[in-house]
Structure 1
Amino acid sequence: MKSRMSCILMPLAGLLSLTNALTLDMNSFDSIKSVTSTLAYDMMTYYSGNQSGQVPGLLPGPCESTACYYWWEAGAMFGALIHYWQYTGDDSYNPVVTQALQFQVGPEENFNPPNQSKNMGVDDQAFWAFAAMDAAEAGLPDVGGDAPSWLALVQAVFNFQSTLWDAATCGGGMRWQVYSFNAGYNLKNTISNGGNFQLAARLARYTGNQTYADWASQMWDWMEASPLFQYQDNVLYIWDNTDANSNCTDVAHYAWTYNYGTMLMGAAAMYNFTNGAEPWGTRVNQILQGAFNLFFPAEYGGNIMTEFQCEPTMVCNNDQSSFKAYLSRWMAVTALIVPSTYDLIMPKLQASAAAAAQQCNGGDNGRMCGRRWYSSFDGSTGVGQQMQALAVIGGSTIHPAIVPKTAVTGGTSESDPNAGTDADANPVQYSPITTADRAGAGILTVLCIGIIVGGSAWIIM
């Protein structure tokens, strides 16, 4: 939702000249802008939702073959394009992003459109809400009229998801799937609970509303008490999922970059919201150290990101082929809103950016990207591969002028705390977490269930 090979790392600084491929000069913003423009263009060749007769917001599907993409990844792609605009100033994709995000709003204005409800996972919805939150934080103008604001869309998703807290099993947390008839309803996974945690934390930071912060803290506490979190030597290891049918007493020992990225972004937002109050600074660093230990192996120089659960054996599916994009993007934002992490994060983003570019020399056009940044082009292409390279190369340019906005630092998206609910209803009230709530467990989007991959036992060892 992973044996290794040696490689000679190309220098971080200086010109990377690639035959029939991209040419990236890490010391030149113009070069980075040109390369990311090409990456974004090639990524969008997979998208036809803005064409006549097509459905805005959807990538090729339904998922009956390896050439399809689930709904959530389209939402993630539009979030990546918002970040691309921030990195480069190129707003040419903003109309397409706005159209897609608004079209995929459901009747309750909470990213639960009828054409997706039957397969709705909490994490699927969260990634569309992340994109709307990106829009609010980047200052993308609200559409106006009867269209919901970007912030209200996120608030509507949060209000919907807050009703999914399941105290009846595992002491709390949320199930992976929204509806019980979907496969995976028995699981409580990190990406769903962590996605909700991130939304609450970013809403707290943007609005200044303590209620969102209290919910984020409750979600963290439940996850920390579950098998999803494991601490060793002051490092946090984050596992993928746990089973409510066994009262969350077990855990799937898979580690994925997007789980780390999701938790990192939420913890960083809480650090920023609390003006650096503990324990959030410690938590940010514990997540980072876990990510550094797992996803930046010494055998590739220690600074190049890898999805070790599936890349070396070439079994990544379309979902997993995009995961590094989210850790890349959210590491970049963390470097801004938790300044003490900047010097830890940037060498890894910059080295990974250089490595990603040097293998973007495949496909029919001779410049498509694969998954394995530590090697030559591996023959795989797709939306996720392009998104990953776009995210890490763009993220290497992160600077204080594009720090995510809040309502008091230039953000203009209109707030609606009751979005997605009856306008006359009382705001959702959240009860404090109890001792029983802390007994639970749960997390992973079992995108890769059934694939048995070596490596997971190696993690802690």
Structure 2
Amino acid sequence: MTMLRRIRLVLISLAVVVGLQPVVAVHAATPPGGGAPSGSIAVARARVATEVLLDSYDEQKAWFPSSWWNSAVALQTMGDYMLRTGDRSYVDELDHSFETNKGPFPAGERSTDEIYGNFTSRAIDDAGWWALNWVTAYDLTGDQKYLDMAGTIADFMHGFWDPSTCGGGIWWNEERTYKNAVTNGQWIRLTAELHNRIPGDTAWLERAQEAWDWYAASGMVNSEGLVNDGLTDDCANNRDTVWSYNQGLGIGAALELHRATGDAELLSTARDLADAALASDALVTDGVLTESCDPLGRTCDDNQKQFKGIFLRYFTELADTTTDPRYDEFVDRQAESIWANDRDSAERLGLRWAGASTEASPNVFDWRTQASALSALIADVPQDAPSRSLSATMAPTQLVVMPSPGTTSSVRTAVEVAATSDGRPVRADVRVSGPDGWTVDPARSRVRLAPSGDGSPARASVPLDVTVPADARDGSYPLTVTVTARPGLGYTTRVTVQVASTIDFDAGSTEELAWLWDAGGSGLSHVGSRFADGTSHFVYKFPFPAEATSAEATLTIDNQYVVEVGPDGESWTTVLAEDEPIRDGSNKADHTLDLTPYLGPDKAVYLRVTDAFPEDGWGGGVYHVSAQFGTL
């Protein structure tokens, strides 16, 4: 199978192609008319967020770097999107991930643990996430190989069911040290799913019922109806943190077993777990789902970043099943809060769904938070999703201009319009406006699209010229793009153009996005670096102004790095490399690089970071970047 780098198949996107090859940012706004989003707007928002998530997909390793179980959950979220909307744009990514990762891997290649093959390892819950993902892939495609793999993983997990301790339950790990809510919630859900998809099954149903009986009597669900993390060595509730994903798995387990048995008591239990969550200060603050690590001054680790999305996945199923307006209102509130408060200028969705952020405790944006919040946007799509939708996004994600002092800057862009429909042509009106004193040509255009009716978007492109006035000061400036089509389709996006005379940013910050030309499968570490390990890379672009005759950059970097520089984003010269396989950051230091020999014809310089020892998974990490230019 050939995997190509995907451009965003969103319903309208702006691809910026400038003399300076800038990178562009998008900020989508409430559709014309305001108010609660229609079904078509909900589809559009989910599609935009899914495309942003896909930007972090590493096509070579066929996962999201660099987290094994988190990748399974993110892939399942993409499957959820496709099942909900009818769009089948990402089936290839699911299949590619399956075929690429189904074999064994040594420790450090996909996880700190060895992967035994068939998505199994010493971490039993990791295997469970992959099994649940492949059931979703089966539901989406009908391909038996996915259901067979889920069964293979379930057989592996069943080897860790142990009645000799606490009367039953699946162990959390191969060392058999802990019985907890996540692994057993997964187990009930998975076994019930297998039963519901295998004609004539009795074995999986018996296991599901046995596991539920044990789970319900285990004591992990406390007197308030909340699910604590697990059991003590004495088989009592350990009173550990109430995490949203454990609550969600309890809901999902009871609901799937209800589908298998028709037992009304199970549906009632699912509702009890949901109601307990909504009423609890431990999980909901001012109507918004909030993890205990979310508030200002606290930090969620890479695992905890995805917990809320797992809750919403199963809560959505309960809302669909019961049609309880309280549940629908809660889903709507999550989606609206995320869209209004938890997006940055590149359409990334953050950790805090209510959006709080300070310099000392900033909101966090990465692919894990993207996948988690995306589940809330998917939940807001009606069960009977509309076939016609229109939206706006940007590829690439930022536009940055470093103008020559006292002169105007001409920026050439292209607006790419796409739409889905039931097969009827869509005639879309495109309007673009800039700040006072800016010129956009054409300011208005019309395009005709002919979608096939299979849920995939059709696209058309409109070139634009944008003139930045000579007196534009450093800062962010919005271009507003509004697309409309009959009957009643509309979407508005604000595109942020960054005008900058200096370059100075921390890796992973919002400011970094203006200069990040190609993320290349890179990731963000918990210590504040952007890193490239294995075959991944990342590229910064510095579009220096026309009068620049010299330039330099300073990087704070550590571990196993190779730094290359070039004038065009295609040809590279190595200017800095670590020759020791350092893994502990002990070589973290500032390095100043002379960029002058690499100033391109348009005075742009590209800087790429790769892994000096790609076989061991400890690539170079950049913490801070500054760059400046000189003139004769």
TM-score by length of 2: 0.51
Is the counterpart of residue 267 in structure 1 residue 254 in structure 2? Answer: yes
Q: Work out whether residues 357 and 389 of structure 1, in 8 Å CA contact, stay in contact via their aligned partners in 2.
A: no
Match for 1:227 among 215, 219, 242?
A: 219
Contact 2:118/2:149 (<8 A) preserved = no
Unaligned runs of 5+ in 2: 1-24, 105-113, 387-632
- 1:96 alignment partner AA: E
Could you tell me how far apart the structure 2 residues matched to 1:103 and 1:299 are?
A: 41
Q: What code does the residue aligned with 1:77 have?
A: A
1:249 to partner: Cα distance: 3.2
What letter corresponds to residue 186 of structure 2 in structure 1?
G
Question: Amino acid of the residue matched to residue 394 of structure 1?
Answer: I
Aligned to 2:208: 216
Distance in 2 between residues matched to 1:129 and 1:116, nearest whole Å: 9
- Supply the distance in 2 between the matched residues of 1:370 and 1:342 (Cα, whole angstroms): 28
Aligned to 1:446: none
Any idea what the Cα deviations from partners look like across 1:257-307, whole Å, max 9, x if unmatched?
1111111111111222223x232122112111122123687751x3x2111
Contact 1:173–1:223 (Cα < 8 Å) also in 2: yes
2:40 corresponding residue in structure 1: 30
Structure 2 match to 1:97: 94
- For the residue of structure 2 that corresponds to 1:231, the secondary structure is coil
Identity score, percent: 20
Cα gap change, 1:400 to 1:215, in 2 (>3 Å): farther
- Distance in structure 2 (CA, Å) of the matches to 1:223 and 1:312: 34
Specify which of 338, 343, 364 is matched with residue 380 of structure 1. Answer: 364
| 1:196 equivalent in structure 2 | 187
Does residue 370 of structure 1 match 2:320?
no
Aligned AA for 2:216? Answer: E
Q: Secondary structure at the match of 2:62?
A: coil
Give the 3-state SS of the residue equivalent to 1:22 in structure 2. strand
Shift in alpha-carbon separation, 1:82–1:72, aligned structure 2, 3 A: same
Residue deviations 1:88-144 (CA, integer Å, cap 9, x gap): 33222110111102332247xxxx943798953111111111111112223x142xx
Residue of structure 2 in register with 1:42 after alignment: 52
In the aligned structure 2, how far is the partner of 1:118 from the partner of 1:272? 27
**What pairs up with 1:47-196 in 2 under 5 angstroms?**
47-48=57-58, 50=59, 54-57=60-63, 59-61=64-66, 70-106=67-103, 113-114=115-116, 120-138=122-140, 140-142=141-143, 149-177=145-173, 179-180=174-175, 185-196=176-187
CA distance in 1, matches of 2:149, 2:368: 25
Letter of the 1:172 counterpart: G
Task: Give the aligned residue type for 1:76.
Answer: V
Partners of 1:126 and 1:311 lie apart in 2 by 29
Task: State how far apart, in whole Å, the 1-side matches of 2:185 and 2:96 are.
Answer: 27
Asked if the contact 1:158–1:200 (Cα under 8 Å) also holds between the matched residues in 2, the reply is yes
Q: Deviations over 1:336-363 (max 9, x none)?
A: 3x3x35323211111110001112432x
Task: Quote the Cα distance in structure 2 between the aligned partners of 1:351 and 1:204.
Answer: 34
How many angstroms apart in 2 are the aligned matches of 1:192 and 1:348? 27
- Write the distance in 2 (CA, Å) between the matches of 1:226 and 1:117: 28
Partner in structure 2 of residue 283 of structure 1: 269
CA distance in 1, matches of 2:90, 2:292: 32
Q: Describe the superposition over 1:368-388 as per-residue Cα deviations: whole angstroms up to 9, x where unpaired.
A: 222112234543111121112
1:241–1:343 Cα change, 3 Å: same
- 2:313 corresponds to which residue? 329
Name the CA distance, whole Å, in 1 between partners of 2:227 and 2:283.
17
Aligned to 1:67: none
Q: Residues of 2 paired with 1:348 and 1:379: CA distance?
A: 22
Q: Which runs of 4+ in 1 moved over 4 A?
A: 115-119, 295-299
Secondary structure of the residue aligned to 2:347 is coil
Alpha-carbon distance between aligned partners in 2 of 1:374 and 1:127, rounded to the nearest angstrom: 27
Q: Separation in 2 of the partners of 1:220 and 1:128?
A: 21
Superposed CA RMSD in Å reads 2.7
Q: 2:355, 2:363 within 8 Å by CA — same for their partners in 1?
A: no
Q: Does 1:238 align with 2:227?
A: yes
Does the C-alpha gap of structure 1 residues 288 and 308 become closer, same or farther in structure 2, counting only changes over 3 Å?
Answer: same
Between 95-104 and 372-381, report the one with greater CA deviation.
372-381
Counterpart contact for 2:230–2:238, Cα < 8 Å: yes
Distance of aligned partners of 1:188 and 1:24 in 2 relative to their CA distance in 1, 3 Å threshold: farther
Look up the SS of the partner of 1:373 in the other structure.
coil
Q: 1:24 to 1:322 in 2, by over 3 A?
A: farther
Residue 207 (1) aligns with residue 198 (2) = yes
1:346 is aligned to 328
Name the amino acid aligned to 2:349: C
Q: Which residue of 1 aligns with 2:343?
A: 361
Residues 437-448 of structure 1: pairs in structure 2 closer than 5 A: none
Is the CA contact 2:28–2:347 (under 8 Å) kept in the aligned structure 1? yes
The letter of the residue matching 2:248 is: G
Consecutive unaligned residues of structure 1, counting only runs of 5 or more, are 1-18, 62-69, 143-147, 403-461
Indicate how the Cα distance of structure 1 residues 250 and 331 shifts in structure 2: closer, same or farther if over 3 A, else same. Answer: closer
Distance in structure 1 (CA, Å) of the matches to 2:385 and 2:348: 30
Q: 1 CA distance for matches of 2:284 and 2:117? A: 45
Q: What TM-score comes out, normalization by structure 1 length? A: 0.69
Equivalents in 2 of 1:28, 1:72: separation in Å?
A: 34
Q: Where is the strand percentage greater, Structure 1 or Structure 2? A: 2
Amino acid at match of 1:56: A
- 1:28 alignment partner AA: S
Cα separation, partners in 2 of 1:253 and 1:270, compared to 1, 3 Å: same
Matched with 1:305 is: 289
CA distance in 2, matches of 1:237, 1:379: 27
Give, in whole Å, the separation in 2 of the partners of 1:141 and 1:199. Answer: 17
User: Counterparts of 1:155 and 1:117 in 2: how far apart (Å)?
Assistant: 12
The structure having more radius of gyration, on CA atoms, is 2
